[in-house]
Amino acid sequence: MSSNATSPARWYSGVTGYQWLVLVIASAGWVFDAFEGQIFNLTRNDLLAELLKVAGSDPQVKQWGDIFLGVFLAGGTFGGLLFGSLADRWGRRPTMAVTILFYSVFSGLTFFATNLWQVAVLRFLVAMGVGGEWAVAAALVAEVFPQHARAHASGIFHATSVLGTWLAALAGLAVGANWRWAYLIGVGPALLTLWVRASVKEPESWAKAATENKRMGSFADLLGNPRWRGRALLGMLLAAVGLGTFWGVTVAGQDLTKELLLRTGAPAAEAASKAKFAYGIVQSAGGGLGLLAFGPIAVRFGRRRTFALMLVLAFLIVPVACYVPQTYAQMLVVLPVFGFLTLSIHAGFAVYFPELFPNHLRATGSGFCFNGGRLLAASMLFFSGWLKALPGMKLQLAITLLGGLFLCGLIVLNFLPETKDQPLPE
């Protein structure tokens, strides 16, 4: 897409109805993408207790829950790499439809699961669709929107994941212990495939690359060309910082709140309920605003500077959230800021990664960065668990130490290019 000599005063000036439609479709896919990822976290105690025939407090429930989370991360990585490459080979429209079918149909089939291996297989397949849909949708939004609106649109696209989290929370509350119905709700997004097939057209940039006989979606080209290889590997490390801190730090808002409430004398059931609200609603609202804010800030200051700013501020807010609040009300004030600063960089991945790669490798490279980072970040789950379990280790200190990972992102950024005000690579 060619560069504009001057950008309009308003970022949405000149955006066509079709471009808005693409953003809505891509975002709808990502909303349900996030729903599928969160619904297991909300229902796994009831699901595993029933299948294992044990109480929800049994250690086996936590053990198998962690195993299935690892299965989901592996499936997301494999799906992101596979469908990212296929999106460059087949086109954005058919691949997006396939990824949505993957996560919706296999989520619905979980309704019928009767043993652990069935759940494991289905969660892997759901994760394949989840990982693949992001890579395709991020590339599509970047290619369809004009240069002056690209960062804003990509940021909005990623920010809609908060709606998926809220939808999963509502579904979990609605079904209660009847966990099977929550997965049956996941079949609904399959209808999106009809909308995708009827409404989405292949971007001109992809069609042009396809007619030039380039090596569409080739991992050999991605990793064999020094320019693209460096960007892919560095992008993967940057994503690993964001995803690692998400699992090690951002989600700890719930544990910090619960620990504070128990420390101040709240009953266990009340502490658990209030902590879920604080994290799932209050902190998530702040996180959503952070995701929305990344695009406009990146337009003004550049992609690398915005990442650097948010990484430093995220590092600084972690000890504040850990040590400053002394009451539940104070925690409710801090958590939205905590969510804003620790989650905002995730929208940056949707803004930045598609801008790093050429037309014939855009979805492949974006998927490699985001989902390769997902796999690397899995190690943070084990390290975080080990650190928090050390004798005498306080939760606040453990999370503060884990927050140091944000600063590692500054090192990675030093070797990546700035893409502000530049056309997408061809």
- Tokens for 163, please give them: 């709606």
- Tokens for 234, please give them: 């560095």
Alpha helices in 302-404 (DSSP H): 303-323, 328-343, 345-352, 362-388, 395-402
Block means of pLDDT (10 residues each) for the chain, 426 residues, are 56 90 91 85 85 82 81 88 90 91 92 93 93 90 91 92 85 82 85 84 84 79 93 96 91 90 90 85 92 94 96 97 96 96 95 92 92 85 81 91 95 95 85
CA separation for the pair 234, 353 (Å, rounded): 10
- For residue 340, how many other CB atoms are within 10 A of its CB? 23
What's the pLDDT at 6? 58
Q: How many domains does the chain have?
A: 1
Residue in 20, 285, 299 with CA at minimum distance from that of residue 161: 285
CA separation for the pair 303, 307 (Å, rounded): 6
What's the pLDDT at 62? 77
What's the pLDDT at 360? 87
Dmax over CA atoms of the chain, in Å, equals 68
What SS3 state is found at 91?
A: coil
Residue 29 lies in a domain: yes
Residue in 100, 108, 94, 93 with CA at minimum distance from that of residue 32: 100
Residue 289 lies in a domain: yes
What's the pLDDT at 379? 80
Residue 419 lies in a domain: no
CA separation for the pair 169, 184 (Å, rounded): 15
Cβ contacts of 326 within 8 Å, gap of 6 or more: 260, 264
Are the CB atoms for 76 and 104 separated by under 8 Å?
no
- For residue 271, how many other CB atoms are within 10 A of its CB? 20
Residue 1 lies in a domain: no
281 burial (CB, 10 Å; 0-12 / 13-18 / 19+) is: middle
- Tokens for 173, please give them: 């509350």
CA separation for the pair 389, 384 (Å, rounded): 9
DSSP state of 421: T
Residue 118 lies in a domain: yes
The domain of 44 spans 17-413
What's the pLDDT at 4? 45
Alpha carbon distances (Å) from 351 to 63, 100, 159, 243, 389: 36, 21, 11, 16, 37
What's the pLDDT at 45? 81
What SS3 state is found at 412?
A: helix
**Domain CATH for 34:** 1.20.1250.20
Residue 420 lies in a domain: no
What SS3 state is found at 272?
A: helix
Residue 146 lies in a domain: yes
What's the pLDDT at 7? 63
Residue 418 lies in a domain: no
What's the pLDDT at 5? 46
Are the CB atoms for 256 and 242 separated by under 8 Å?
no
Are the CB atoms for 1 and 36 separated by under 8 Å?
no
